Amino acid sequence: MGKIIDTKVSLCGIEIDNPIIPASGTFGYGYEFAELYDINMLGTFSFKGTTREPRFGNPTPRIAECCAGMINAVGLQNPGVDKVISEELVKMRAVFNKKVMANVSGFSVEDYAYTCERLDKCDEVGWLEVNVSCPNVHGGGMSFGTSPEAAAEVTRAVKAVTAKPVFIKLSPNVTDIVSIAKACEEAGADGISLINTLLGMRIDLKTRRPVIANKMGGFSGPAIFPVAVRMVYQVAQACSIPIIGMGGVSSAEDVIELMLAGATAVEVGACNLVNPYACRDIVNALPSAMEKYGIDRLSDIIGLAHK
């Protein structure tokens, strides 16, 4: 009889079978992926970024390829929170029987509070993941996530209208990620998700113009993984709330590395766009990777690199 390998982790009091979570914007609402494999094997998933009003998104082209990654500027295309609740979650429920993570974006503090309050009432939702990398329309377009004060303000507003655990998803496009994470923790955040995409750009040599209509976009993929490890490590050292780590994750070994840095769970993003079976493959590969590195229980290694 082989050794029992335990991949379970507890995320703010909710136990999940494994720490693998497809990242928001790379997995839709799950039902397209459910045609390919049983998505109930995942820990959970973070659904597409949801805003108060419907959004068409940015003009095309929205995607640019680059070495060891990609750049995207989709622009939060989504049907708005009311339609997400009345249509998307109904379709999702038919294929996914676990709690899901609701990813929320906004352009004002009121937007965030409104959308989170609506999603907090949905039985399917286990956690709220609040993306503070959106431009603050009242603050001149800088994202809420670039200032500790603004990130804390969003955190307080959301916590005031919700009962479910709130993870604040931080932008890495800052000089001091720790001060922003600490401000969110002090404002009542239950956890931190990081990192979101870095800011990147490509220029077409033939047209001599930016490849993406939006000029710049979110740079993701394996190239950003070391930045993710560094930021997760720094935030884990400074904060005592759980972290969901992400950024260029493409293997079971990457998952273990981010957990050693301090992540309780790990999101997989760009990799899903390259290989729709990426998360399934990582979940399947986890037990043998754990065995290889002498890990019986995944929860035992969270933050072990700090010891």
Largest CA distance in the chain: 63
What separation in angstroms does the CA of 66 have from each of 28, 70, 211, 220, 227?
Answer: 23, 5, 11, 10, 17
Taking the C-alpha atoms of residue 99 and residue 106, their distance in angstroms, rounded to an integer, is 23
What separation in angstroms does the CA of 161 have from each of 120, 166, 230, 267?
Answer: 8, 11, 33, 26
Taking the C-alpha atoms of residue 226 and residue 28, their distance in angstroms, rounded to an integer, is 26
Q: Which of 300, 151, 307, 166 is nearest to 244 (CA)?
A: 166
Q: Which of 15, 19, 8, 10 is nearest to 282 (CA)?
A: 19
Q: Provide the annotated active-site residues.
A: 134
- Residue 196 · residue 170 · CB < 8 Å: yes
Beta strand pairing call for 125-131 and 100-104: parallel
Tell whether omega for the bond before 302 is within 30 degrees of 0, i.e. cis: no
> If DSSP codes are grouped into helix, strand and coil, which group holds residue 109?
helix
Q: Which of 98, 104, 88 is nearest to 32 (CA)?
A: 88
> If DSSP codes are grouped into helix, strand and coil, which group holds residue 171?
coil
Q: Which of 304, 244, 170, 235 is nearest to 11 (CA)?
A: 244
